[in-house]
Amino acid sequence: MLDFDRSLISNREEVTNRDSLVIELKRAETKADIKSIKQEITGILSEVKQLSKNTDTNGEEEQAKFGMSLNSLIENLQQALDAYSLERAKYYLSRLIKSLTTEKTGKFNDLDMNRWKEYNDIITDSLWIMEKRDRTGAHNAGYWGNFIPQIPQQLLRRYTKKNEWVLDTFAGSGTTLIECQRLGRNAIGIDLSNEALDSARLNISKENNVYNTKAELFNADSTKLNYRELLGKFNIDSVQLVIMHPPYWDIIKFSEDERDLSNAPTADSFLSGIRQIAEGAHQVLDKGRFLAMVIGDKYSKGEWIPLGFYAMSEIMKAGFKLKSTIVKNFDVTKAKQSQQELWRYRALLGGFYVFKHEYIFLFER
Ligand SMILES: C[S@@+](CC[C@H](N)C(=O)[O-])C[C@H]1O[C@@H](n2cnc3c(N)ncnc32)[C@H](O)[C@@H]1O
C-alpha cells in the first residue's frame, strides 16, 4: 500500500461531507497513472478513516452528511485502492461517485440499489433465525400470540415505500401498525376483538409519530368485510401491502366469539375464512404488490396437520402467485420453556419432532 504524502497532492479540499468528497473523488478519477490515482485515494481514505475514529455517535450523523455510512465508504475506497490497474481503480471510483450522487429505487420499496451493500440487516434468505424480540418501540409483548416486530419491519422495508398504505387483517396488539408508524407507512388494522384493539390503540399512542402517518383500527370480522368500502372510509382505493397473521386455527383461543377463526369448528371452515380474506385483499391490493401470511402448523391426535401449507394453497386459489416460503424459528415462550424437557421426552417416545418453526408465505398480486 502507498503511504499518504500530502505534499504530492495539490489543492486538496478537506473531506467533510458528500460534496467535498465527490469533488475529491472526481479529481482522483482524472489521474493518468496508477501511482497518482492511488496517492489521491490514499489521501481521501485516510481522511475518512480519521473521521470515523473521531465519531463518538453511532455514525448516523456522518451517514447523513455523506449519504453513506463511513464503514461503507472505507470499504469502497479500499477496493479502489487495491485495484491492479488504472482502469479498474477508475471504475471503482466512478461507481462510488454514482452511488453518492444518484438514487436507484425499485418499484415497491425505497431501497437505493446503488447502495445495496449497505443493507446488511435486510434478510434475503428463506431461513430466518431471530434470537431475540426487538424491544425498542412501543410494543407490548404481553399479547399472547403476537408476532415479533422484526417480522413486519422486514416486510415493510422490502415491500413498501414511505407514505404507502398497509392492511393488517388480524391486527391483534398492533405490532404491524406500530412498525408502520416508526417507518413512515400508513396502516389499517382489523381485529374482531375489541380488547385487542384497545391494547393496540394504547401501544400506538405511545409510539412517536415522526412521519405523521395514519394508524387506523377497525373492529370487524375480516372474513366478511367489504374491503373496498372499508378503504373508502379512509379515502383510499388501494393498499400496497397486506399482512395476515391469523390464529393458527385452535392452537390459541383468542375469544369466545364464534366468528373468531380460532373457534372455527373444522379445518375446512378455518381455511375458507382465510380464502375469503385473501379474495377481499385481492380486490384492494395494487397489482405487482405483496401479501405476506405468517402461520404455523399444528398437531392433532398424533398427526402433523400442515395448516400452513393448506392456508398457502387457499391464498393461491384466490389468485395470488407464491413468491417465497420463509421458515422462521419460534420464540420459546416462558410457559413452554418449563415444559421443554417434557416435550423432548414425548417426542423421543412418540417419534415426532417438537415445533420450532413457523412460516411466512409471500405472495404477489
Ligand atoms: C395471531 S393474532 C395476531 C397478532 C398480531 N400480529 C400481533 O402482533 O399482535 C390473531 C388475531 O386475529 C384475531 N381474529 C381472529 N378471528 C378473526 C376474524 N374473523 N376477524 C378479525 N380478526 C380475527 C384475533 O382476535 C387475534 O387478535
Reported as a pLDDT band with limits 50, 70 and 90, residue 116 is confident
Q: Are 245 and 172 in contact (CB under 8 A)?
A: yes
Q: Does position 309 have pLDDT exceeding 80, yes or no? A: yes
Reported as a pLDDT band with limits 50, 70 and 90, residue 141 is low
Cell digits of residue 171: 391486527
Smallest CA separation from ligand 1 atom 7, residue = 146
198, containing H or E segment: helix 194-206
Read off the pLDDT of residues 58-83 as tens digits, 9 standing for 90 and up.
677 787 788 888 888 999 999 999 99
Residue in 197, 229, 199 with CA at minimum distance from that of residue 216 = 197
Residue in 358, 213, 188, 194 with CA at minimum distance from that of residue 281 = 188
Full DSSP string of 211-238: T---EEEEES-TTS--HHHHHHHTT-S-
Pocket of ligand 1 (CB under 6 A): 143, 145-147, 170, 172-173, 175, 190-193, 196, 221-223, 245-247, 254-255, 259-262
User: pTM for this one?
Assistant: 0.85
Give the pLDDT of residue 7.
46
Cell digits of residue 268: 375446512
Smallest CA separation from ligand 1 atom 26, residue = 172
Q: Are 192 and 255 in contact (CB under 8 A)?
A: yes
- What are the boundaries of each domain within the chain? 6-102, 127-364
Calpha distance 36→50 (Å, rounded): 21
Read off the pLDDT of residues 28-56 as tens digits, 9 standing for 90 and up.
999 999 999 999 999 999 999 988 888 76
Q: Does position 8 have pLDDT exceeding 80, yes or no? A: no
Give the pLDDT of residue 69.
85
Smallest CA separation from ligand 1 atom 15, residue = 260
Calpha distance 327→354 (Å, rounded): 15
Q: Which amino acid is at 331?
A: D
Q: Are 118 and 71 in contact (CB under 8 A)?
A: no
Higher pLDDT among residues 142 and 65, named by residue: 65
For residue 223, the ligand 1 atom closest to its alpha carbon is 19
Give the pLDDT of residue 2.
45
Q: Which amino acid is at 231?
A: L
Q: Does position 321 have pLDDT exceeding 60, yes or no? A: yes
Q: Taking residues 200-219, what's their average pLDDT? A: 96
Q: Does position 3 have pLDDT exceeding 80, yes or no? A: no
Q: Are 133 and 117 in contact (CB under 8 A)?
A: no
Buried b (16+ CB within 10 A) or exposed e, 25-64: bebbbebeebeebbbbbbbbbebbeebeeeeeeebeebbe
CA angle 50/56/59 to nearest 5° reads: 80
Q: Are 109 and 161 in contact (CB under 8 A)?
A: yes
Please tell me the CATH code under which domain 127-364 is placed. 3.40.50.150
Sign of CA dihedral 314, 320, 323, 326: negative
Read off the pLDDT of residues 241-275 as tens digits, 9 standing for 90 and up.
999 999 999 999 999 999 999 999 999 999 999 99
Smallest CA separation from ligand 1 atom 27, residue = 172
Give the pLDDT of residue 103.
84
The mean pLDDT of the chain is: 91
